[in-house]
Amino acid sequence: MKDLNAIAGSFLKNNHDELAEKIFEFYIKEKLKPQTSINPHEKLMIRTGVSSNLCALADGLYYSEQNIYENELEWARRYLSRIKIPVENITLLLEASRDIFEKRLPQKIIFNVLNYVDYGITVLKRTLNEEPSYLKEGNQLYNESVKYLEYILKKKKNSAIDMIFKLVNNRQNTIKDIYTHIFQPLHRELGRMWQNGQITTFHEQYAIAVTQLAMSQLYDYIFKKEKSGKSFLAACVSGELHEIGLRMISDLLALEGWTTFYLGSDTSIKTIIDTLENNTVSIIGLSVTVSKNLDESKKVIEYIRKVYDYEDLKIIVGGFVFNNSEDLWSRVGADSYANNACEAIDIITGF
């Protein structure tokens, strides 16, 4: 079954453009109500939805992870809900996909693909539950997290950063406390709020800029510890833009005396290899948030394993796409996976 899933996923990936166009045309012609008028912007949204759904379906099949497909559909439901588009539109899109697949897929993989599509339709019939806040009363630094969020939403950059430095200078809270109990839950909460339509993309990007500025201003505290002789390379694979979690891990390791090579978002294989060739690296951390970047992470890891005979070199991965799977990390070739910054530090220092 898994082998056929992989074959099916590969087929969908290799024939993505042709299948996406057929699904789009069939959806417009057969699934929309007669006389429905759609403008160019709406057509673009439908095309984007078709492509995203097909990518997630292909990734879910290829890695035999229904969670990948389920997460994409849940995300789409929440997003369409915030812009007042009925969830029935996604169901119609899946039905259109099903019709095209029945006509155009090789016989040996039709069952596997339709099994995932039918599962997706059942997912869309569930009650959409509200996601709980990541800022939970009773958590360490809860009040400070709420205040930091308030400053962000009011665009009070200086007040937010001043609050962070007061927490550091009063010596009652460590930098690790601030990273793991303010920065990390705060940015997960902003993602939840954006998805629910409570904030705009501006607020999320503004928050990232403020937090990164605060982190950079803490470097005098972070990089003063004596070096431990261990080193960590941190990178988001090519196409991956969600970097703040990986930067937290890199900074927290530096705080413990590690030499860190933080390469940031959208990092090419060449840049990673150049860093390996010119530096001594003990452990590599790769960040992957969305499923479309799983193949790139697998390719990076396979290339490193093939070209470099480093028996002691360990690779850890993290990011949203791995969070609902027991062993997806192993199928991209990694040695381990972490759900959050604290867990990553424990695993990395325990290698």
Domain residue extents for the chain: 2-125, 142-219, 226-350
CA dihedral sign, ordered 145, 147, 152, 158: negative
3 state DSSP class of 236? strand
The predicted model gives 236-245 an average pLDDT of 93
Query: Given CA atoms 263, 267, 269, 270 in this order, what sign does their dihedral have?
Result: negative
| Level-2 CATH architecture, domain 142-219 | Orthogonal Bundle (1.10)
Distance between CA atoms of 91 and 265, rounded to whole angstroms?
A: 34
Do residues 250 and 285 touch, judged by C-beta distance below 8 A? Answer: yes
**Residue 229, pLDDT score:** 86
Query: Residue 298 has which token pair?
Result: 């697998």
Distance from C-alpha of 116 to C-alpha of 90, rounded to nearest angstrom: 15
Tell me the pTM.
0.90
Question: The tokens of 171 are what?
Answer: 């010596």
Average pLDDT, the chain: 92
Please say whether the beta carbons of 261 and 234 come within 8 A.
Answer: yes
Integer Cα distance of 277 and 308 in angstroms:
9
Percentage of the chain exceeding pLDDT 70 = 99
Residues facing residue 260 across a β-bridge: 232
Q: How many CB atoms lie within 10 A of CB 234?
A: 26
- Residue 314: exposed, middle, or buried by beta-carbon count in 10 A (0-12, 13-18, 19+)? middle
Q: Is the pLDDT of residue 202 over 90?
A: yes
Fold of 2-125: Globin-like (1.10.490)
pLDDT at residue 102, rounded to an integer: 96
CA of 26: how far to CAs of 34, 47, 147, in Å? 13, 12, 50
Is residue 142 within 8 A of residue 135, CB to CB? The reply is yes
Angle, alpha carbons 61-66-67 (nearest 5°): 130
Q: Distance between CA atoms of 336 and 316, rounded to whole angstroms?
A: 5
Rounded Cα gap, residues 36 and 62, in angstroms: 36
Q: How confident is the model at residue 133 (pLDDT cuts 50, 70, 90)?
A: very high
- Give the pLDDT band of residue 35 (cuts 50, 70, 90): low
How far is Cα 313 from Cα 310, in angstroms, rounded to an integer? 5
Rg (CA), the chain: 22
Angstrom distances, CA of residue 20 to CA of 46, 80, 94, 100, 125: 10, 20, 12, 10, 24
Task: Give the model confidence (pLDDT) of 250-304 as tens digits.
Answer: 999 999 999 999 999 999 999 999 999 899 899 999 999 999 999 999 999 999 9
**109: pLDDT confidence band, cut at 50, 70 and 90?**
very high
pLDDT in the model for residue 233: 97
CA distance 120 to 65: 12
Class of domain 226-350: alpha beta
Q: How many CB atoms lie within 10 A of CB 18?
A: 11
Report the distance separating Cα 18 and Cα 181, nearest Å. Answer: 46
Q: Which residues contact 258 (CB under 8 A, 6 or more apart)?
A: 227, 228, 230, 231, 232
Helix (H, G, I), strand (E, B) or coil at 133: coil
CA dihedral 53, 58, 59, 63 (to 10 degrees): 150
